[in-house]
Amino acid sequence: MRSCWTRSLPPDQQPNSPEPVVAVVVAAGSGSRLGAALPKALVELEGVALIRRSVEALREAGVADIVVTIPVGFLPLFEAALQGLSVTFVPGGATRQDSVRAGLAALTAPDDAVVLVHDAARALVPAAVVRAVADAVLAGADAVIPVVPVIDSIRRVEGEDSHIVDRSPLRAVQTPQGARLATLRTAHDRIAEEGVQVTDDAAVCEHLGMHVVLVNGHRDSLKITEPVDLILASALLRERTP
Ligand SMILES: Nc1ccn([C@@H]2O[C@H](COP(=O)(O)OP(=O)(O)OP(=O)(O)O)[C@@H](O)[C@H]2O)c(=O)n1
Ligand SMILES: C[C@](O)(CO)[C@H](O)COP(=O)(O)O
């Protein structure tokens, strides 16, 4: 059974677009690689929790309803971190994929609403990237993801041996990832029934035969994963502040 805690959206936060864009922000991970005392989404970046920065970035881009998946036992801390922002909290699952599915189930938008799935850990996503993903779905794409070129040399390790991989066609995948709500719900339900685990929502859609459309991501939208990422993100934020 899933529990759900809802607060309604105040009039000043209603979307302007006739086509609603809604979102799931997945924030139920522990952040084991970051190694903080709190779940990663509650960790502060320059005094503001990652989850708050992520929700504010989506709001700035015009996203209406937002469901946030959170780890069990941390509701009061998430409520405090998102004070003044209207979101719906739902308990996350054991994996990111499970958390996305729980979040999608809690959305009350129409089937054809554009839905964006965003990692709380990508707290500095520019509003332009969010809008580019939503616009591509509105323009008719089944599934949309933001990507950036791979800049490191890449090697494939095979036993004791390793081989260089041509990086020129490779892209690193970011969030938010977009689709129509009913499409993404169906895709997640199907892949869960089949017991297949993948690492992102594009792969979930692709598993059902959908074409994935790429838009330009942004380096600022790095996934805060290890302690060094917090240092980098702090520096990026200080650059943004006039
Ligand atoms: N069971 C899970 C696992 C992850 N996430 C969310 O999915 C996003 C991407 O996951 P990642 O950055 O890998 O977070 P963690 O799983 O928390 O990190 P780690 O693997 O270091 O524990 C994060 O915003 C995280 O909170 C989630 O909602 N539910
Ligand atoms: C969705 C994602 O952020 C795209 O890069 C990534 O796949 C999440 O993977 P993780 O293993 O949960 O970090």
pLDDT in tens, the chain (242 residues): 333 443 334 444 444 456 889 999 999 999 999 999 999 999 999 999 999 999 999 999 999 999 999 999 999 999 999 999 999 999 999 999 999 999 999 999 999 999 999 999 999 999 999 999 999 999 999 999 999 999 999 999 999 999 999 999 999 999 999 999 999 999 999 999 999 999 999 999 999 999 999 999 999 999 999 999 999 999 999 998 76
Q: Please tell me the distance between residue 113's alpha carbon and the centre of ligand 2 in angstroms.
A: 24
Query: What is the reported pTM?
Result: 0.93
Rg (CA), the chain: 18
Nearest to 191 by CA among 178, 174, 179, 203: 203
Q: 């939503």: which residue's tokens?
A: 134
CA gap 156, 158 in Å, rounded: 6
Beta strand pairing call for 212-216 and 143-149: parallel
Coil/strand/helix, residue 199: coil
Q: Which domains does the chain carry?
A: 5-240 (3.90.550.10)
Q: Is 91 in the pocket of ligand 1 (CB under 6 A)?
A: no
CA gap 130, 173 in Å, rounded: 14
Report the residue among 30, 43, 228 best suited for mutation to probe ligand 1: largest number of ligand atoms under 8 A from its CB: 30
Distances (CA, A) of 68 to 26, 28, 58, 233: 6, 8, 12, 22
For the purposes of burial, counting CB atoms within 10 Å of the CB of 186, is it exposed (0-12), middle (13-18) or buried (19 or more)? Answer: middle
Q: Please tell me the distance between residue 232's alpha carbon and the centre of ligand 2 in angstroms.
A: 18
Are 162 and 203 contacting, i.e. CB atoms less than 8 angstroms apart?
no
Ligand 1 atom closest to 27 (CA): 26
Q: Please tell me the distance between residue 223's alpha carbon and the centre of ligand 2 in angstroms.
A: 8
Q: Is 223 in the pocket of ligand 2 (CB under 6 A)?
A: yes
Q: Please tell me the distance between residue 229's alpha carbon and the centre of ligand 1 in angstroms.
A: 15
